[in-house]
Amino acid sequence: MTPEIRRLGRADYQPTWRAMQRFTDERGDATADEIWFVEHPPVFTLGMNASRAHVLAPGDIPVVQIDRGGQVTYHGPGQLVVYPLIDLRRRRLGLREMVVALENAVIGYVGSLGVSARGRREAPGVYVGEAKLASIGLRIRRGASYHGMALNVSLDLEPFQRINVCGYPGLTVTRLLDLVPGMDPAGAVERVARDLTPFLLRSLGYTEDSRDTETGAHGPHSAMSTESQAVSSR
């Protein structure tokens, strides 16, 4: 069963988060997986057990505590956020395999642009040198994933200076705009979403004939039951 690709454009963080929760709670055994691509207005998000001590000077950017693992990260315009809403049991993926699949999708994609990147077992995400290009934060509930991955494309990096990124004082971040010579920032997030899609589908073990829509409506689904987990590099 191939996933539906939903391109949500720019959407507020909290309604998108609540929509992911509803989708996960209502999905059934026959529900198709979905992958959402979105940009968010500026927001800092904190994991369930995150320390607010890592939020150094948020200023006028809101801080939202959410139900993933990990510490604090930033989302803003110019960052591609990918939410894979996937039945992990059906795909026979464990939590670690899911994290590696997301990392490998980005590593393969940026490699096609001439950028050498890597993952780190001790701190999940994608790095170019010692700088973080993409962060990963997942929640697993009832056997399915939500939350996901944030890839820095062309966003203003200044807000990352207001936090200890992912709980690591001094951790630097980078973005594709500074790594790919000649990248046009206009429409860059949409282009990256389009070009990343086949790498993401292959890394997750799908065929590439997924249905692609510009926005999503999330109807009711029957319930399943398992425990929930959370993991993050944020």
Q: Catalytic residue at 166? A: yes
Selection from 144, 115, 143 nearest residue 134 by Cα: 115
CA angle 192, 105, 71 (to 5 degrees): 90
Burial 194-229 (b: 16+ CB within 10 A, else e): eebbebbbebbebeeebeeeeebebeebeebeeeee
* E strand residue ranges, the chain: 4-10, 34-39, 43-46, 63-65, 72-75, 79-85, 118-119, 126-128, 131-141, 144-152, 211-213, 228-232
Instruction: Convert the pLDDT of each residue in 173-225 to its tens digit.
Output: 999 999 999 999 999 999 999 999 999 999 999 976 666 776 644 433 333 23
Helices (H) and strands (E) in the chain, counts: 4, 12
Among residues 166, 192, 193, 200, which one is catalytic? Answer: 166
pLDDT of 224 reads 27
Per-residue DSSP letter, 173? B
pLDDT of 227 reads 37
Instruction: Convert the pLDDT of each residue in 75-103 to its tens digit.
Output: 999 999 999 999 999 999 999 999 999 99
Instruction: Convert the pLDDT of each residue in 36-74 to its tens digit.
Output: 999 999 999 998 888 888 889 999 999 999 998 788 899
> What are the chain's domains?
4-232 (3.30.930.10)
